[in-house]
Amino acid sequence: HACQYLGEYDKFVTISKSGMVLRAFQYLKKLNKKNVRVFVTESNPGRESLQLAKELIKSDVDVVIIPDTAVMHLLTEGCCVVSGCDVISPSHFRNKVGSYQLAVLSKFTGAKYYLLGDSFKYVDDIKSVPETKEEYEEDDGIKILRRLFEDVPLNLVQGVITEKGFFNPTEINSIVTG
């Protein structure tokens, strides 16, 4: 389903590592037989981007890792944003920290942002799923906040794509009933 909406693009921005996003880019590369370039944010503090980049390179996808804060110029140059998620609810999705920034910047620039997620990740209330706690570490007496996930308003994305098809953010309950 994702390739139907992503097929018109050849440059993408993504964050973190998602199996569904990986498969979409692999299939898109195979289907289109053209150069697909994926800019993957570093995904600090966990740096999951390295895992995704290695898998994409194996599939002959052109990958560039960029700083988490360096997406603005890509969004103004016609890149499409694609990300996975850990949880989807009627109002929000939970994903790697940095996703909220990416969604806001996408909305601001008019870049399309597609959320890919299996329907089993749907919950009625995102607050019902415990969030990974913020971890404080001290390094030479300095406290460091290492927040890993954040909840992003669903109305910031163009659409949600699952194995059941495409859903507008306002129709997300159809994942369960459809």
The pLDDT tens digits of the residues spanning 106-125 come to: 999 999 999 999 989 999 99
Reported as a single tens digit per residue, the pLDDT across 130-174 is 877 676 777 788 887 778 899 999 999 999 999 888 999 888 776
- CB neighbour burial string for 26-39, b if at least 16 within 10 angstroms, e if fewer: bebbeeeeeebebb
Q: Is residue 22 very low, low, confident or very high in pLDDT (cuts 50, 70, 90)? A: very high
Are the C-beta atoms of residues 157 and 113 closer than 8 Å to each other? yes
The confidence score (pLDDT) of residue 116 equals 96
Q: How many residues does the chain have?
A: 178
The confidence score (pLDDT) of residue 156 equals 97
The verdict on pTM exceeding 0.85 is yes
The confidence score (pLDDT) of residue 34 equals 67
Is 83's pLDDT higher than 60? Answer: yes
- Burial, 80: exposed, middle or buried (Cβ in 10 Å; 0-12, 13-18, 19+)? buried
Averaged pLDDT for residues 93-100 = 94
Structure tokens at 48: 């999951």
> Residue 27 gets which letter from DSSP?
H
> Three-state SS for 15?
coil
User: CA nearest 85: which of 119, 133, 51, 132?
Assistant: 119
The confidence score (pLDDT) of residue 46 equals 76
Q: Is residue 43 very low, low, confident or very high in pLDDT (cuts 50, 70, 90)? A: confident
H/E element holding 73? helix 72-75
The confidence score (pLDDT) of residue 33 equals 63
Averaged pLDDT for residues 58-69 = 93
Is 11's pLDDT higher than 80? Answer: yes
Averaged pLDDT for residues 41-62 = 90
What is the percent of the chain where pLDDT is above 90? 58
- CB neighbour burial string for 81-103, b if at least 16 within 10 angstroms, e if fewer: bbbbbbbbbbebbbbbbbbbbbb
The Cα 2–Cα 64 span in angstroms is 21
The Cα 164–Cα 172 span in angstroms is 11
Is 175's pLDDT higher than 70? Answer: no
Q: Is residue 30 very low, low, confident or very high in pLDDT (cuts 50, 70, 90)? A: confident
The confidence score (pLDDT) of residue 64 equals 96
The Cα 92–Cα 172 span in angstroms is 10
Q: Are strands 159-162 and 165-167 parallel, antiparallel or unpaired?
A: antiparallel
